Amino acid sequence: MGKVVKVSGPLVVATGLSDANMSDVVRVGPQRLIGEILTMNGDAASIQVYEETSGLGPGAEVVTTGYPMSVELGPGMIENIYDGIQRPLEEIMKKVGGNNLPRGVEVPPIDPEKLWEFTPVAKVGDKVEGGDVIGTVPETPVVLHKIMVPPYLKGTLKNVTPAGSYNVKTVVAVLTKEDGTDVEITMSQRWPVRVGRPYKRKYPPVRPLSTGQRIVDTCFPVAKGGTAAIPGPFGSGKTVMQHAVAKWSDVDIVIYIGCGERGNEMTDVLREFPELIDPRTGESLMKRTVLIANTSDMPVAAREASIYTGITIAEYFRDMGYDVAVIADSTSRWAEALREMSGRLEEMPGEEGYPAYLASRLAQFYERAGSVSCLGSDDRRGSLTAVGAVSPPGGDLSEPVSQGTMRIVKVFWALDAQLAYKRHFPAINWLNSHSLYLDSLKPWFDENLGPEFMQNRERAMSLLQSESSLNEIVQLVGKDSLSPNDQLTLESARMVREDFLQQNSFVDVDSYSSYDRQAQLLAMILDYDKLCRAAIAKGAPTMELFGIPARERIGRAKSVPVEQYQQEYADIRVQMEREIDEVVEKAGDTL
Amino acid sequence: MIREYRTIQEIVSPLMMVKMVENVTYDELVEVELPDGGIRRGKVLEVNGDTAVVQLFESAAGINLAQSKVRFLGHPLQLGVSGDMLGRVFNGMGHPIDGGPEILAEEYRDINGLPMNPAARDYPNEFIQTGVSTIDGLNTLVRGQKLPIFSGSGLPHAQLAAQIARQARVLGDDAGNFAVVFAAIGITYEESEYFVQEFKRTGAIDRTVLFTNLANDPAVERISTPRMALTAAEYLAFEKGMHVLVILTDITNYAEALREVSAAKKEVPGRRGFPGYLYTDLATMYERAGRQLGKPGSITMIPILTMPEDDKTHPIPDLTGYITEGQIILSRALYRQGINPPVDVLPSLSRLKDKGIGQGKTREDHANTMNQLFAAYSTGKDNKELMSILGEAALTPTDLLYAKFADEFERRYVNQGYEVNRTIEETLDLGWELLSILPKAELKRIKPEYIDKYLPKKEG
């Protein structure tokens, strides 16, 4: 048992802890505050305490639990909202009977009493290894929770409990290891958050993650198992974007980490998600979501842990063979927590006061994403996609967190305050963003959407690029002095921006757009461009081409109800072709 | 147990080191008794073995190392709260300065409060009508929101804040349950007096709690002032069920006081010398706004800050913007043109507006017209800029209409003055009137049925 000798905010130094291990979780003081050992020097340990240390002084007792910072994994996590160290916030509310978060509350992360319908799939005598599925539990209507042998265990099943209702602490199987000892397996297991859960091997990601957001899916797609970052100044729509990805991604499980952000945003997710219906399963979106909320007014040290808590839970679901997305809002706040602890430890600061190991910690976090072949003998495939928001001070991307992130992630959705002021949402700048998955995803796109999809994407991007250079000329000499072809380029680029890229996440029809619909809408706009170019070559006047009535229908095409869009798009095409022909004929007559 | 020591080792204002102490705990309140009987207060910042580092809340002048007594009180800084605080004026440390008696506290509360459980928050979605078109129509305020005013030195943020405090009401709600908590943080006597006079003029003073730390009061006191105000606000909102509007002015002074203390502690500075934890520190104040499940009251917060050099990327406005739910930005250019209140519409934002507007809250066409006004004003401003480079001839007739729209928008929609109180219907109708300048085909962001219903029919 140790004794506190120094208290400075969340950093506590205690002596007499020679029996404790590095990174052990300790309980500090009479309130049994939760802390983690950061450094050891002789028998003195520096401890990062995850709760407010007000009222703690020298002489208080420190007890080590002997375990590193861990999470409990098992049925009952979905639909839950946790703080940064996996304490269920709704349970805390019930337990303390108030709306605030007092200190030292102890609530088990997973309800130990609740009964689950367990169905065994393994038999007595089966040879099993870490990752093999022993049985299943329908956790929610859309998530079949697989009870797995914990990693690194190997042996023969000596006993398997028959189907029935059990709580998570019930032993559902007994495994005899090769050395003859027995290990009891329950429905829950613990795992240290700072260690990635093992898998057999990683594969390059080849399937796109469909988010239903046109600028993302078509222009800058992220792959399942990939990494993406959303940097942007405040007010540019980072959170709306993160929410959209959390809502509409075609993954099995979503882990949403609110890390040092606004409390009301978490409330928004908590109140809105249960009411939203997943277009793929017909069930509420909450039935596949786990929330981690460590808002900005909650203790800063737990904020540092929240990211690891979130990704460890995600890895656990990945190990079941699911596609999982982790959405972290915002990694900058996590980095600030790291900086604060580093400052208190009196470490030598790197850039802007951030610790020198900032970039490597960021890399470690994102590297836990990936498309993998899971442990276990059935060769399941799972994927973990990590999407992190970055909040650069003043929108300046040269700061350490943005730079550290940009070096690692493959997809970069650069939010732009100027676009947000113009109410162009999502305010992702099409010239500054990039996706490095285009090549690896091309085979999938070619097979599922036809080879013209990638060609259209290229054309749309080059139209936007030309627009930006033409705009510089327009600034100098005015629009009228442009050639008809250049005028058309401007007009088509405007259509791509307004009629395709802009998407209103507050309008039901428009908030989610399927891949097929995106492909058709873009193809239609580009066909307009192609037909007009041909018409201009035949001498048709640009103003009349731009003014054909079909244009207005194209403008409203994205808000056509889901059931009607295919018919409507076909109709618009017919009308558009006819009207352009008429303009050409008329021009031919006057010549 | 109160322990007294005469072992002050060192004072580097605002920090004081006391040796040979026992059983001192972190964050504890400290009283220093001067030889002449005067009392200074502070809190424990760090305790290391038998040495305590104390941060003084007040000036260190007059403290004698050998003769001053230091007492550790065993609890953090507290504020005695009571329903009787309404109508009273306190200094930055929570003592009455209006000549009235001390408050008989119903309860003592730690001024740092406790973090609100995110699961216990109730989402703010009740529309507050402020009577200011640029806020109601475009950057709607809702109950429980924190919406700062980003201003610059010499801009009329005080008038705007007073106008909001005077006019704000929730439609169909009884006004008796409304209170204002006002914290003056390092502002001048004149500015503070302006607010007091405003509250007196409108009779709101009886429903107001004032905490004043003026520019000549000790800077370190400023760190406690807003927390005092928020503790009072929390009590009124969540114990007494009142709807509290908190005005904090000026956050820039607060952040500078924090920087002063951080520098004295020799901490590694972040951007512009501000401590790295400025974000967390501001968040622990701002996040105290909100609504809670099962509680009738609410805290709506309007912090005011002056942006140094009108620079929005300065750490104070920048970090504030990352925590608060939007911002109202004042523009010097508009102010020079005589447009009042000079709200810069485009970069201003209310993040919670979407849940507080529309059918049943304001009017069905609100969201559509709002987006259209924003887009049209933005295009109009671009066109005006182009016009000033290339001349009017370079613009198409539609472009010219946009430019005209932008002018009219500033002149009529923004420029309403500080005394005009517009209802939300008036604001929306004015928006339609302005949109009728543009050709109907340009109103792409509005549903056709709303255009038919609300667009004023042109005569002839």
Chain segment A113-136, per-residue pLDDT in tens: 999 999 999 999 999 999 999 999
By Cβ distance, the residue of A102, A264, A393 closest to B121 is: A264
User: What residues contact residue B287 under an 8 Å CB cut-off, 6+ apart?
Assistant: A262, A263, A295, A296, A297, B115, B116, B323
Cβ within 8 Å of B, A 468-497: 475, 477-480
Q: Is residue B315 within 8 Å of residue A288, measured between CB atoms?
A: no
- Look at B45 and A8 and tell me if their CB atoms are within 8 Å: yes
The pLDDT assigned to B14 comes to: 85
- Look at A54 and B294 and tell me if their CB atoms are within 8 Å: no
Chain B residue numbers touching A337 (CB-CB < 8 A): 280
Asked whether the CA dihedral A80, A84, A86, A92 is positive or negative, the reply is: negative
High-pLDDT (> 70) share of chain A, % = 100
Asked whether the CA dihedral A214, A217, A218, A221 is positive or negative, the reply is: positive
- Look at A475 and B386 and tell me if their CB atoms are within 8 Å: yes
Chain B residue numbers touching A268 (CB-CB < 8 A): 123, 355
Residue listed under structure tokens 């040796």: B19
- Look at A506 and B367 and tell me if their CB atoms are within 8 Å: yes
Chain B residue numbers touching A555 (CB-CB < 8 A): 444
Q: DSSP secondary structure string, B226-238?
A: HHHHHHHHHIIII
Q: How confident is the model at residue A555 (pLDDT cuts 50, 70, 90)?
A: confident
- Look at A100 and B47 and tell me if their CB atoms are within 8 Å: no
Residue B8 has a CB neighbour count (10 Å cut-off) of 20
- Look at B394 and A479 and tell me if their CB atoms are within 8 Å: yes
- Look at B24 and A58 and tell me if their CB atoms are within 8 Å: yes
φ/ψ region of A257 (left if φ > 0, alpha if ψ in -120 to 50, else beta) reads: beta
- Alpha-helical regions (H) of B287-446: 315-323, 332-336, 353-356, 366-390, 397-408, 424-435
The mean-pLDDT minimum among A150-154, A503-507, B50-54 falls in: A503-507
Residue A231: asked if its preceding bond is cis (omega within 30°), the reply is: no
The pLDDT assigned to B220 comes to: 80
Among all residues of chain A, which has the CA nearest to that of B50? A58
pLDDT, tens only, A323-381? 999 999 989 999 988 988 888 788 888 888 899 999 999 999 999 999 999 999 888 99
Average the pLDDT over A192-199 and give the result.
95
- Look at B24 and A339 and tell me if their CB atoms are within 8 Å: no
Distance from the Cα of B237 to chain A's closest Cα (Å) equals: 13
- Look at A7 and B46 and tell me if their CB atoms are within 8 Å: yes
The pLDDT assigned to B460 comes to: 41
φ, ψ of residue A290 to 5 degrees: the values are -120, 130
- Look at A417 and B347 and tell me if their CB atoms are within 8 Å: yes
- Look at A260 and B325 and tell me if their CB atoms are within 8 Å: no
Lookup: tokens for A288? 């596949």
Buried-state track A202-218, b at ≥16 Cβ within 10 A, e below 16: eeebebbbbbbbbbbbb
Q: Which of B53, B1, B2, B8 is nearest to B35 (CA)?
A: B8
Interface probe for B, chosen from A13, A46, A85, A99 (most Cβ of B below 10 Å), is A99
Buried-state track B30-67, b at ≥16 Cβ within 10 A, e below 16: bebbeeeeeebbbbbbbbeeebbbbbbbbebeebeeee
Among all residues of chain A, which has the CA nearest to that of B371? A423
Going from the C-alpha of A241 to that of each of A155, A183, A215, A432, A516, the distances in angstroms are 46, 45, 11, 17, 21
The burial of B132, by beta-carbon neighbours within 10 Å (0-12 exposed, 13-18 middle, 19 or more buried), is given as buried
Distance from the Cα of A53 to chain B's closest Cα (Å) equals: 7
What number is the ipTM of this complex? 0.87
Residue A370 has a CB neighbour count (10 Å cut-off) of 24
Cβ within 8 Å of B, A 355-384: none
- Rg, chain B, Cα only: 25
The pLDDT assigned to B459 comes to: 55
High-pLDDT (> 90) share of chain A, % = 72
Q: Is residue A100 within 8 Å of residue B115, measured between CB atoms?
A: yes
The pLDDT assigned to B173 comes to: 65
Average the pLDDT over A49-76 and give the result.
92
The pLDDT assigned to A452 comes to: 94
Chain B residue numbers touching A5 (CB-CB < 8 A): 48-49
Q: What is the largest CA-CA distance in chain A?
A: 99
- Look at A59 and B110 and tell me if their CB atoms are within 8 Å: no
Going from the C-alpha of B191 to that of each of A225, A344, B159, the distances in angstroms are 56, 39, 10
Amino acid at B355: K
- Look at B27 and A235 and tell me if their CB atoms are within 8 Å: no
Residues paired with residue A435 on neighbouring β-strands, in sequence order:
A411
Among all residues of chain B, which has the CA nearest to that of A96? B117
Intervals of chain B under pLDDT 70? 1-2, 173-176, 458-460
Q: 3-class SS at B444?
A: coil
Distance from the Cα of A337 to chain B's closest Cα (Å) equals: 8
Q: Tell whether the model's pLDDT for residue A582 goes beyond 60.
A: yes
Chain B residue numbers touching A89 (CB-CB < 8 A): 117-120
* Interchain contact A401–B (C-beta under 8 A): no
* Interchain contact A263–B (C-beta under 8 A): yes
Residue A97 has a CB neighbour count (10 Å cut-off) of 6
- Look at B113 and A100 and tell me if their CB atoms are within 8 Å: yes
Chain A residue numbers touching B290 (CB-CB < 8 A): 263-264
By Cβ distance, the residue of A234, A268, A478 closest to B321 is: A234
Give the number of A-B residue pairs with CB atoms closer than 8 Å: 208
The pLDDT assigned to B175 comes to: 61
Q: What is the helix (H) or strand (E) element at residue A553, kind and residue range?
A: helix A550-555
DSSP 8-state class, residue B220? G
Going from the C-alpha of A517 to that of each of A258, A288, A497, A570, B444, the distances in angstroms are 32, 25, 16, 12, 21
Q: Output the pTM of the full model.
A: 0.92
Distance from the Cα of A98 to chain B's closest Cα (Å) equals: 8
The pLDDT assigned to A97 comes to: 87
Chain B residue numbers touching A353 (CB-CB < 8 A): 268-270, 276
Average the pLDDT over A30-45 and give the result.
91
Q: Which of A149, A147, A160, A132 is nearest to A74 (CA)?
A: A147
Residue A504 or residue A359, greater confidence: A359
Reported as half-sphere exposure (CB side, CA atoms, 13 A), residue A310 has a value of 39
Q: What is the helix (H) or strand (E) element at residue A36, kind and residue range?
A: strand A33-41
- Look at B378 and A421 and tell me if their CB atoms are within 8 Å: yes
Q: Which of A25, A271, A538, A26 is nearest to B122 (CA)?
A: A271
Average the pLDDT over A265-284 and give the result.
87
- Alpha-helical regions (H) of A238-357: 238-248, 263-272, 300-319, 331-344
Q: How confident is the model at residue A279 (pLDDT cuts 50, 70, 90)?
A: confident
Chain centroid to Cα A208, Å, comes to 14
The pLDDT assigned to B70 comes to: 94
